[in-house]
Chains A and B, each alone.
Chain A
Amino acid sequence: MLIKARRKQVDYFTAKRRHAYLFWGLLLLVTYAAAVLTQYDFVQGLSSIPGALVWGVTHFYPNAESLAKFPDVLRTLVETLLMSIAATTVASVFALVFALLGSQTIGVHAGIKLASRSIATVFRNIDVTAWSMILLFSFGQNVMTGYFALFFGSFGFLTRAFLESIDETGSHSAEALRATGAGYISVICQSVIPAALPQLISWILFMIETNIRNATLIGILTGTGVGFLFNLYYKNLDYNAASLIVFVIVISILVIEFTSNYIRKVMIG
């Protein structure tokens, strides 16, 4: 009996080790195959990093001439920031409605739950860059394209995040309020939202940060905002001006990160 149990234990660990070897072996194989197919040379890739650094230091810095373009950069940066914030806040309103409708514990009807969850999944699984390419066809190179791309992406992601927050934090107190005879709207406004609020705000701030980063990339695609300006300078080989933009973006992202951490601390702590 004991021997049998011990043998079983040995078998269990051997099998587990075998699975681990198999997994790492396959991973290595896939990596190698990918490198061969794309003709990527590890050594060359690594050895080019110092060279790139040297080039960056010698070419990629803002000079006095590029500082003259600062007002232009600032204007487009503000445009990009405001667009990201507008897209996120509007998306979060829609996301909240869909999250409430799709919530496992608060939702009203199984069909509506499924429908709102599915809609959110579709929007979430299409990346913002994919959205901007799709929307380029209908809106052209326009601020609206970037706005809607960010809006759709944020909407899908936030719905999912809100759903989980609501189901996690709001369900207990919602049950209690339902038991007092409170109506649906009262339960939502007095218990579900207050209970989940810190998490909801946290997700919105996270989304604003992410969207500001994304907006720059989308700007390159849609020809708007600070991303477009970067692309323009870069393609004109005006590396000094392009580097100015990079610096400004880095600084603004740090400022936003700092601000949102501060808001988090004040609202949630």
Chain B
Amino acid sequence: MTALLEFKHVSKQYGSETRALTDVSFSVRSGEFVSIIGPSGAGKSTLLRCINRMIDASSGEICIEGKNVLEFRKKELKRMRTSIGMIFQHYNLVDRLSVMENVLHGRLGYKSTLAGMLGLYREEEKQQAYQILGILGLEEQVYKRCDQLSGGQKQRVGIARALIQGPKMLLCDEPIASLDPNASKVIMDHLRHISTNLGITVIVNLHQVETALKYSDRIIGVNQGKIVYNGTPGQMTSEELQRIYGSERRDTRADQGETQAG
């Protein structure tokens, strides 16, 4: 099976001092559900954004279906981005617009300048948006303004906006970091469903180790811009976790132990 996404010795440097990523190499197969875990500031977000070049890597190669995205020009870059959906911690919706309009934004990558400027969408696109919103359980919210939705609903609108692109891959940057446990579960279930049933590759940055272990096909552990773990959830041990999180993790474990004992 060929890799959909391949990182080859990728590094990212901010200015002359800060190194966000150092010699990162890994590959992701088509349809895989991959979680990236690690402490805050480890470079998870940078890594994710390098894939669709929201951030440009400094060196190395990032290949999507064998083509190095770092060599893409503007037009190719746009075409590549239309095939990759992105989901954000803060949903990044236009709060004042309706759910429908926000979902249709996912089609803008396919539009001419004029159609994009005026926001002209075809009837099929609207039907499709309606259908996707139905699957995500938002049929009653279609014409509501997004600022009237709960966090979990907003994130589902974010997912709908990504799905309507017809993507090969979803990049999710801390999708559940601002959500309560119930909403988090709904979102993670949807993402898992998207990966399993639609065959879309899902790459998720996560803070919650337990969630990563539960949902992923594979886990990539990042610490200080380097990959320190790359394997299945089943192979994950507490020593490995300690390597990913350093002493920080040990402390939280100890705290949990105390509260459970008490």
Q: Which A residues contact B (CB, under 8 angstroms)?
A: 172-173, 175-183, 185-187, 189-191, 194-195, 197-198
Report A-chain residues with C-beta under 8 Å of the C-beta of B78. Answer: 181, 183
List CB contacts (< 8 Å) of B84-108 with chain A: 84-86, 88, 90, 92-97, 105-106, 108
Q: Is B81's CB under 8 angstroms from A180's CB?
A: yes
CB distance from B89 to the nearest CB of A (A): 10
Q: Is B161's CB under 8 angstroms from A176's CB?
A: yes
Partner of A183, one of B80, B88, B116, B171: B116
Q: Which B residues contact A (CB, under 8 angstroms)?
A: 52, 54, 77-82, 84-86, 88, 90, 92-97, 105-106, 108-111, 113, 116-119, 158, 161-162, 165, 171
Q: Is B165's CB under 8 angstroms from A180's CB?
A: yes
Overall SS of chain A's interface: helix
Given contacts A176-B93, A195-B94, contact A182 B161 (CB under 8 A): no
A-B residue pair count with CB separations less than 8 angstroms: 85
26 A-B residue pairs with Cβ-Cβ distance under 8 Å, sorted by A, are A175-B88, A175-B92, A176-B92, A177-B108, A179-B52, A179-B84, A180-B162, A181-B79, A181-B81, A181-B82, A181-B108, A182-B116, A183-B108, A183-B113, A186-B108, A186-B111, A186-B116, A189-B118, A190-B108, A191-B94, A194-B94, A194-B96, A194-B97, A195-B94, A195-B95, A198-B96
Q: Is A180's CB under 8 angstroms from B85's CB?
A: yes
| Alpha-carbon gap, A51 to B97, bound state (A) | 58
| Alpha-carbon gap, A120 to B79, bound state (A) | 36
Partner of B105, one of A172, A175, A183, A190: A190
Report B-chain residues with C-beta under 8 Å of the C-beta of A183. Answer: 78, 108, 111, 113, 116
Report B-chain residues with C-beta under 8 Å of the C-beta of A177. Answer: 105, 108
